[in-house]
Amino acid sequence: MQDSHTTAAHHPAFQHHFETMEQQRQASTLGMWLFLITEILFFGGMFTVYLVYRNWYFASFAAGSLTLDVTLGTFNTVVLIGSSLTMALAVHGAETGKRGMLVGFLILTILLGATFLGVKAVEYTHKFEEHHVPGPSFRFGSEELRHFHEEATMLRSTQIHGVELGEVQLFFSLYFAMTGMHALHMIIGIGVLSVLVWKARHGRYSPEYFAPVEYAGLYWHFVDIVWIFLFPLLYLITRHVGVHP
């Protein structure tokens, strides 16, 4: 069936059920965005659960949140936003036909993503050591609770009623579900970017055709946006407990 359509541009990536390369590009862009909004609603389910439980169990969520390491969280936020910048620059390289720029920044993005995951692994290891992982072996020791109550009693906030072990466990369930699902998306993203590096080095992309790079970029930025919300919700939002107004 090849070459039966006279209007077709003869780019190797052109698929012949489309009329033009432009139509193909518009279709796949729309498809990518639709995929991303399914991701919004996928993560949205967990954000809903978080919203409900945080409102119910504010003190327990604060207690759980205070055990997270803000320094590592902030570091990871900077790393991930940085990787979004390098991703945007990689797409720019593809747009302008600079293969070196494309490949270089793709590799840099992968490295930053791996750094993020490495830090995440360190954090998870801590949580395992402290038995903060929900399940039969979950413990939230008197040490952490005393620390929390000392800080909380200094506060006049009426929101603090008390910390329940089960509720703290709910916080950590959500912490692991949300960051775990986010990390899974990053691992997939790194896989996709690795394929792109290989293909870009073989000159598959040009200013006429770089859609896969563009879509991988959209996906990467989306994963970044999820973290932009996870970071304050999990690490920051109850830090002020224990700080004088």
Partner 1 sequence: MSTAVTTAESIHRRRHYLNADYGIRSWLLTTDHKRIALLYLFSITFFFALGGLFAVLIRLELLTPAGDMMTSDTYNKVFTMHGIMMVFFFLIPSVPATLGNFLIPMMIGARDLAFPKLNLASWYLFMVGGMFAMYSVVTGGIDTGWTFYTPFSTTYSNTKVIPAALGILIAGFSSIFTGLNFIVTVHRMRAPGLTWFRLPLFVWANYAASLIMVLGTPVLAITIVLVFLERAFHIGIFDPRLGGDPILFQHLFWFYSHPAVYIMILPSMGVMSELISAFSRKRIFGYTFVAFSSVAIAVFGFLVWGHHMFVSGQSVYAAMVFSILSYLVAIPSAVKVFNWTATLYKGSVSYQTPMLYAFGFLGLFTIGGLTGLFLAALGVDVHVTDTYFVVAHFHYIMVGGVIMGYLGGLHFWWPKITGRLYPEGWAKLSALVIFLGFNLTFFPQFVLGYLGMPRRYHAYPEEFQVLNVMSSAGASILAVGYLLPLFYLLWSMRYGPEAGPNPFDARGLEWQMASPPPTHNFEQVPIVSEEAYAYHTAQEVPVAG
Partner 2 sequence: MSGHVVPLKVYFAIFATLMVLTAVTVRVAFINLGPFNAAVALGIATTKAVLVILYFMHVRYGSKLTWVVILAGFFWLGILLALTMTDYITRSLPHLPT
Regarding 131 and contact with partner 1 (CB under 8 A), the answer is: no
CB 65 within 8 A of CB 237: yes
C-alpha–C-alpha distance, residues 216 and 234, integer Å: 27
Contacts (Cβ under 8 Å, ≥6 apart) of 203: 99
Q: Is 244 in the site for partner 2 (CB under 8 A)?
A: yes
Phi, psi of 19 (to 5 degrees): -85, -45
What is the rounded distance in angstroms from the CA atom of residue 80 to the CA atom of residue 221?
9
Are 159 and 58 spatial neighbours (Cβ–Cβ below 8 Å)?
yes
27 binding partner 1? (CB under 8 A): yes
Please, which residue, 11 or 131, has the CB nearer to partner 2?
11
Residue length, the chain?
A: 245
Residue selected from 17, 156, 202, 244 as contacting partner 1 according to rule CB under 8 A = 17
Write out the two tokens for 175: 């912490």
Judged by CB under 8 A, the residue of 15, 55, 125, 153 near partner 2 is 55
- Among the listed ranges 45-53, 117-125, 141-149, 185-193, the one in contact with partner 1 (CB under 8 A) is 45-53
What binding mask, one character per residue, do residues 57-86 give for partner 1 by CB under 8 A, x or -? x--x--------------------------
Instruction: Note the residues at the interface with partner 1 (CB under 8 A).
Output: 1, 4, 15-19, 23, 26-28, 30-31, 34-35, 37-46, 48-49, 52-53, 56-57, 60, 134-136, 164, 166-167, 169-170, 173-174, 176-177, 181
